Amino acid sequence: MLKPLQGRGRINADATVTRPVYTSQKGVVLSQALYPNYSDYDPYHMAASSIDTAIRNVVAAGGTIDHLALLDNFCWCSAHDPIRLGQLKRAARACYDVAVAFETPFISGKDSMFNDFKGFDENGKPVMISISPTLLISAIGVIPDVSKSVSLDVKLAGDLVYVLGETHENPWAPVDAKQNVKLYRAFYKLAARDLIASAISVHHGGLAIAFARMSLGGLLGLDINLPQGILWNENQGRIVTTVAPGNKNKFENGLKNIPYACYGTVVDSNRLTIKENNTSILINESLSDMIKAYRKPFENY
Share of the chain above pLDDT 70, in %: 92
- pTM value is 0.89
Summarize pLDDT for 60-95 with one digit per residue, the tens: 999 999 999 999 999 999 989 999 999 999 999 999
Angstrom distance (rounded) from CA 118 to CA 126: 7
Structure confidence by residue, pLDDT tens digits, 1-45: 434 333 333 344 444 444 444 456 889 999 999 999 999 999 999
pLDDT at 26: 87
Output the pLDDT for position 23: 56
Q: Long-range pairs for 258-262 at CB < 8 Å and ≥24 separation?
A: 258/164, 258/165, 258/182, 258/183, 258/186, 259/164, 259/165, 259/166, 260/162, 260/163, 260/164, 260/165, 261/162, 261/163, 262/160, 262/161, 262/162
**Looking at per-residue confidence, does 58 or 171 come out higher?**
58
Q: What are the sequence ranges of the domains in the chain?
A: 25-148, 150-301
**CATH for 25-148, among 3.90.1150.10, 3.20.20.10, 1.10.357.10, 3.30.1330.10?**
3.30.1330.10
Q: Per-residue pLDDT tens for 113-156? A: 999 999 999 999 999 999 999 999 999 999 989 999 999 999 99
150-301 topology per CATH: Phosphoribosyl-aminoimidazole Synthetase; Chain A, domain 2 (3.90.650)
Averaged confidence pLDDT in the chain: 91
